[in-house]
Amino acid sequence: MAESFPMNGGDGTYSYTNNSQYQKQATDFAKGTIQEAILDKLDTENLLSVSNTFRIVDFGCSVGPNTFNTVQNIIQAVESKCSLQGLDPGTIDFQVFFNDHTANDFNTLFASFPPDRRYYAAAAPGSFHGRLFPWASISLAHSSYALHWLSRVPEGVCDRKSAAWNEGRIHYTGSSGDVVRAYGDQFEKDMGVFMKARAEEIVEGGLMVLIMPGIPDGVCHSQLLFGVLFNFLGSSLLDLASGGIIDKAEIDEFNLPIYAPSVGEMTELIEKKGCFSIERIELTNPRSKIDEAIDVHRLIMHLRAGMESVFTKHFGDGVVEKMFDKTLAKSGEISEFLKSSYPKSTQLFVVLKRK
């Protein structure tokens, strides 16, 4: 069974609702590309020939508001494509499923629904590492910044007897090849399950759009923005261990279940399953259209909103509070490291079509 680490719910200081602007930048950047993919690759005339219901699912929707913006963008693009194909968009019933783990704060999500939405909405709780919908029932699937979460911590990385034991680290960033391979193997397993389930759920000719962190060929994980941040979170935990607040063994027994693949890895995994054709796959750079420097304090707040639950489950509330406080105190040092991090394309954008 896949582990569940939901984003912080509610609308408090550390909530995902109030700390997801960077994710919004990513989805805003992809808006035009998603519209282009729908206009070029989606045959609405064929998909709507049997039923006038067009079903959309957002895998890993969290608590909003980004999921609503994405859904609205998709619907507008589908309506435009219908008009181009001589269909009346007003005759289409849009049904949208918002998927996330059962522990997700769906109450906050539903309470913030756009009042003028033009679709029927439903929650679809459960792990996307498995089937969630009936056979050939989904017209278009979308997932943004969710697939990099693994279903579990890779086997061996917390085992002292394993070659992949990741001693003193909380992620594969800067670790041995055995550790990196363990993470890659787990990602391959998870993607295999994900692709199989989606192949059964998406109609022939339907589209799937995936957005997630990626890594360029030849670039070290420690050069990526999140790699830098994970290393600093790990160093803050080691500081707490040195101060006797936690035992170092607790750190050795913990690893973040997060992985960023390369274009080559993702291409190989998709082609191996053979159920989808790759219509587009590339690394993009959302920050290329943003002039302002990265705000480290804001970045750490975003990280906390997205990852606090996974740390809390292992270390407890008190330790996690101290860890983030120590990391914030290193903002100046983090800022210097980020200046030398890889500045280009690290967002993987994928458009697939069901064969």
**pLDDT (0 to 100) of residue 289:** 61
What pLDDT is recorded for position 88? 94
Inter-CA distances, 135 with 132, 139, 322, Å: 10, 11, 47
Q: Are 76 and 36 in contact (CB under 8 A)?
A: no
**Can you tell me the distance from the alpha carbon of 239 to that of 324, in angstroms, rounded to the nearest whole number?**
12
- Rg (C-alpha) for the chain, rounded Å, is 21
Domain ranges of the chain: 21-219+257-290+342-354
> Within a 13 Å sphere around the CA of 184, how many CA atoms are in the beta-carbon half?
19
The residues near 106 (Cβ < 8 Å, ≥ 6 apart) are: 63, 98, 100, 123, 125
The CATH code of domain 21-219+257-290+342-354 reads 3.40.50.150
What pLDDT shows up at residue 298?
85
Per-residue pLDDT of the chain (355 residues; tens, 9 = 90+): 455 555 566 666 666 666 556 677 777 888 999 999 999 999 998 999 889 999 999 999 988 788 999 999 999 999 999 999 999 999 999 999 999 999 888 998 999 899 899 999 999 999 999 999 999 999 999 999 999 999 999 999 999 999 999 999 999 999 999 999 999 999 999 999 999 999 999 999 999 999 999 999 888 888 888 888 999 999 999 999 999 999 999 999 999 999 999 999 999 999 999 999 999 999 998 776 666 677 888 888 888 888 888 999 999 989 999 999 999 999 999 888 887 776 678 899 999 999 9
| Largest interatomic CA distance in the chain | 70
Angle at 39 (CA atoms; ends 198, 55), nearest 5 degrees: 40
Structure tokens at 92: 């289409």
Tokens for 89, please give them.
Answer: 């968009």
Q: Encoding tokens for residue 90?
A: 């007003």
Residue 130 near residue 193 (C-beta atoms within 8 A): yes
Q: Are strands 53-59 and 93-100 parallel, antiparallel or unpaired?
A: parallel
Structure confidence at residue 6 (pLDDT): 58
Q: Where are the alpha helices (DSSP H) in the chain?
A: 21-41, 44-47, 66-84, 106-111, 177-201, 225-242, 248-252, 263-273, 296-315, 317-329, 331-339
Q: What's the whole-model pTM score?
A: 0.93
Q: Let me know: does 27 contact 66? Beta carbons within 8 Å.
A: yes
> Helices 263-273 and 177-201 meet at what angle, rounded to 10?
40
